């Protein structure tokens, strides 16, 4: 008997903007991601309101799933995937986001993909919006800041649900919806950039705009969930949170309180709305202290109550520490998403703290709070991979990382957590979301694509490919 359920959803995760390429093919319009340049760990990627001649925009070709989907799905099947997390590129279906009629060629592409998955009995897990708002909506409305975008998104959902009702059962409305609480979320997640041109790490911190945009995403998500529940009862609707758990740096009560405050604002707020159906009262103080006023329309609160999700999904890459002492914070060094470094943990080459036990802790905390099924839909190690002269890639560091995280997932299941599945991020190499580079690779499958835009897109199995195949075959027992 294995620890994990017999029908545990093993698979891998991707997103259209980082994987598909074909950014202007068959009628697709540009999305916010298509306006972002490449970058690196030390050189931030930039958003440019107008495409610059001679600049590399990595989403334009990415690793070209558009033209390799058959080959890639066969590779996923070879590993034994039972599910396949992907996203639909909104601007492939509605090039500006505002059309009345969808782009038939775009719809047909996903028909082909879903049919291919079906051949291998793989369940698609579809993110409706994964950092892919059509750029025309960014230009016209300042993205999600405008309420108008709710109707555009809802129409997009109506079309997807009707078209794919017999092909897709699991839907996630917004990827990492809580990234809108971070300044960088204004770019990829909310598209509230008002013509800003520059590094995504330096986008102005406009809380009023971001939290209003988030409100519109909550309403849009709830409307989509409500529609699904009413019209397509076999659908299972999920939320998706970037869960970077936080620990108090010391047992000083000031650290404890700061940690609680940051946990709520960053990790709990958005899912409290999406799972429980109301704004949590702790946010009132934050809104007051930051001069934020959320404009709600009549009926919004009611809608949030009726559009709550069926399951909770999240990405898990790291934990961080919170300290109330500025000197301690400075000494410990920073983290990408705030907080300070944990002296007990090592970090990846990109400075992301590695904390498998934090995954067990998070699963327990989330399940205690919501009591609905959970799924880890992103996790993994972004690393520099070295291709040997014979073409092999020995990524034992990746295997070690994933093994430790799966071990802790199993501990969480023993602790009583209802866990549906696991889809490590970027199961095949894709463009990095935060830095726009190819050098940060997560895959079991290597793709010949490099940071200068060269590479013939050939696929190669890394050592981790065979390891993950064995893990799935044994339902997580042979690690
Ligand atoms: C999450 C995103 C993904 C993905 C992942 C890894 O935030 O949902 O799109 O890219 O992080 O991040 P990165 O690519 O920056 O290493």
Euclidean distance between CA atoms 231 and 376, whole angstroms: 27
71: its two tokens = 């080959």
Residue 90: alpha-carbon gap to chain centroid: 15
Rounded distance from Cα 433 to ligand 1 centre (Å):
5
14-39: per-residue pLDDT in tens? 999 999 999 999 999 999 999 999 99
C-alpha triplet 318, 323, 325: angle, nearest 5°: 150
Euclidean distance between CA atoms 387 and 393, whole angstroms: 5
107-158: per-residue pLDDT in tens? 999 999 999 999 999 999 999 999 999 999 999 999 999 999 999 999 999 9
174 CB within 6 A, ligand 1 = no
CATH of the domain at 444: 3.20.20.80
pLDDT at 48: 97
249 CB within 6 A, ligand 1 = no
Number of structural domains found in the chain? 1
> How many residues would you count in the chain?
479
pLDDT at 320: 92
Q: Is 314 within a domain?
A: no
188-204: per-residue pLDDT in tens? 999 999 889 999 999 99
Euclidean distance between CA atoms 271 and 286, whole angstroms: 17
Return the SS3 of 329: helix
- Local structure of residue 460 (DSSP, 8 states): E
Q: Is 119 within a domain?
A: yes
176 is catalytic: yes
Euclidean distance between CA atoms 101 and 93, whole angstroms: 9
C-alpha triplet 143, 148, 151: angle, nearest 5°: 110
List the domain range (segments joined by +) for residue 193.
Answer: 9-242+373-473
Q: Is 47 within a domain?
A: yes
322 is catalytic: no
Rounded distance from Cα 38 to ligand 1 centre (Å):
14
Q: Is 352 within a domain?
A: no
pLDDT at 328: 76
45-103: per-residue pLDDT in tens? 999 999 999 999 999 999 999 999 999 999 999 999 999 999 999 999 999 999 999 99
Euclidean distance between CA atoms 221 and 154, whole angstroms: 8
Q: Is 396 within a domain?
A: yes
Residue nearest to atom 11 of ligand 1 (CA): 433
Burial 442-462 (b: 16+ CB within 10 A, else e): bbbbbbbbebeeeeeeebbbb
Residue 324: alpha-carbon gap to chain centroid: 30
149: its two tokens = 């975008």
Reported in sequence order, the residue ranges of 98-204 that DSSP labels E, i.e. its strands, are: 123-129, 170-174, 198-199
Q: Please check whether residue 183 is in contact with residue 203, taking contact to mean a CB–CB distance below 8 angstroms.
A: yes
Q: Is 55 within a domain?
A: yes
pLDDT at 306: 98
Q: Is 261 within a domain?
A: no
185 CB within 6 A, ligand 1 = no
Q: Is 104 within a domain?
A: yes
CA of 131, closest atom in ligand 1: 9
The tally of CA atoms less than 13 A away on the side-chain side of residue 344 is 12
């Amino acid at each position: 008997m294995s620890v994990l359920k017999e029908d545990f959803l093993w698979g891998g995760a991707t997103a259209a903007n980082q994987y598909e390429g074909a950014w202007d093919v068959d009628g697709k319009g540009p999305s916010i991601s298509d306006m972002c340049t490449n970058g690196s760990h030390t050189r931030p990627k930039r958003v440019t309101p107008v495409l610059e001649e001679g600049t590399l925009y990595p989403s334009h070709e990415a690793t070209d799933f558009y033209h390799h989907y058959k080959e890639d799905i066969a590779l996923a099947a070879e590993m034994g995937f039972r599910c396949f997390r992907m996203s639909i590129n909104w601007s492939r279906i509605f090039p500006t986001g505002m059309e009345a009629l969808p782009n038939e060629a775009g719809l047909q592409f996903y028909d082909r993909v879903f049919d291919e998955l079906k051949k291998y009995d793989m369940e698609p897990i579809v993110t409706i919006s994964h950092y892919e708002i059509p750029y025309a909506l960014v230009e016209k409305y300042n993205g999600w800041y405008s309420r108008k975008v709710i109707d555009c998104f809802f129409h997009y959902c109506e079309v997807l649900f009707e078209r794919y009702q017999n092909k897709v059962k699991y839907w996630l409305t917004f990827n990492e919806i809580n990234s809108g609480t971070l300044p960088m979320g204004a770019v990829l997640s909310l598209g509230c950039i008002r013509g800003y041109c520059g590094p995504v790490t330096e986008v102005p911190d406009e809380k009023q705009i971001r939290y209003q945009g988030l409100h519109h995403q909550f309403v849009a998500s709830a409307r989509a969930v409500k529609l699904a529940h009413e019209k397509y009862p076999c659908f299972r609707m999920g939320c998706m949170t970037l869960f970077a758990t936080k620990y108090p740096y010391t047992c000083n009560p000031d650290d404890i309180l700061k940690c609680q405050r940051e946990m709520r604002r960053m990790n709990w707020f958005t899912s409290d709305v999406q799972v429980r159906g109301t704004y949590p009262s702790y946010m009132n103080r934050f809104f007051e202290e930051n001069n934020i006023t959320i404009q709600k329309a009549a009926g919004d609160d009611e809608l949030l109550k009726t559009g709550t999700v069926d399951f909770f999904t999240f990405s898990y890459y790291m934990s961080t520490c919170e300290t109330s002492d500025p000197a301690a914070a400075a000494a410990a060094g920073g983290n990408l998403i705030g907080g300070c470094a944990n002296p007990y943990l090592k970090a990846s080459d990109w400075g992301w703290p590695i904390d498998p036990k934090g995954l067990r802790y998070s699963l327990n905390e989330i399940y205690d709070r919501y009591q609905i099924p959970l799924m880890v839909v992103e996790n993994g190690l972004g690393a520099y991979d070295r291709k040997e002269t014979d073409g092999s890639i020995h990524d034992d560091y990746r295997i070690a990382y994933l093994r430790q995280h799966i071990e802790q997932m199993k501990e969480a299941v023993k602790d009583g957590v209802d866990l549906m599945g696991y889809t490590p991020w970027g199961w095949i190499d894709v463009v990095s979301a935060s830095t726009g580079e190819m050098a940060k690779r997560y895959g079991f499958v290597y793709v010949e694509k490099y940071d200068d835009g060269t590479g013939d897109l050939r696929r190669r199995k890394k050592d981790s490919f065979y390891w993950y195949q064995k893990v799935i075959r044994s339902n997580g027992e042979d690690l």
